[in-house]
Homo-oligomer: A and B are copies of this chain.
Amino acid sequence: MTRWKPNAKERLVRAALSLFRSQGFAQTTVAEIAERAGLTERTFFRYFADKREVLFAGAEEFEQHFITALDAVPRQSSAIDAAAASVEGVAIFLEERRDFARKRSAVIAENAELRERERDKMASLASALAAALERRGTDRAAAVLAAEMGVTVFRLAFERWIDDKSGHNLAQFVKESFAELKSVTAGGC
């Protein structure tokens, strides 16, 4: 019987991220991750299907944050305001995870397979947001457009936040990017 290990999942994520950064994702094995975390490979596989999933373990929770934030928006709000409120809600939740987000993004940027997996995650998020908007009564076209705009603004704001050295928070970048979206759509740029 395996003894219960305190924070095993978190230790595995930290160990994996550190190894991916120092020696590359492709070059890192599950055995090395487990060893670095002071755990067994068997324990690793109790939490993750493979080393790639270490980086996507929070994907479901991530998507759920958007939906929860969206569901809290008053029904009278327009689709785009609802999408914006959802993205802002997630921004607040992510704010304290900036160091992790930055390291994770650096690993993903280096590997084509991971970039593809991240793209799928964002596509799935857009579909989930569109479906949640439709449940509020938004028609399909407006729901798809508002959801895609929300995800695009999130990606852009996230990219800025990751690169930022001036101490702005993610919610500020989200507001700024939404304002730019409105200006671009109106033909202002």
Answer yes or no: A139 CB below 8 A from chain B CBs. yes
B141 touching A180 by the CB < 8 A rule?
yes
Contact with B along A80-113 (1 / 0, CB 8 A): 1100000000000000000000000000000000
Q: Which residue of B lies closest to A157 (CB)?
A: B141
Docked CA distance A148–B153 (Å): 10
Whether B78 contacts A181 by the Cβ 8 Å rule is: no
- Check A31 for interface membership: any CB of B closer than 8 A: no
Given contacts A120-B116, A123-B119, A152-B148, contact A142 B184 (CB under 8 A): yes
Whether B119 and A149, one on each chain, are in contact in the complex, defined by CB atoms closer than 8 angstroms, is no
Whether the pair B185, A182 counts as a contact (CB closer than 8 A) is yes
A121 to chain B, nearest CB (A): 11
Distance from A93 Cβ to chain B, minimum over Cβ atoms (Å): 23
Given that A78-B189, A141-B156 are contacting pairs, would A149 and B184 also be in contact in the complex, using a CB cutoff of 8 Å?
yes
Interface pair B186/A182, CB less than 8 Å apart: yes
**Contact partner of A139 among B141, B146, B189, CB < 8 A?**
B189
6 A-B pairs in the complex with CB atoms less than 8 angstroms apart: A78-B188, A142-B184, A144-B155, A144-B156, A145-B152, A145-B185
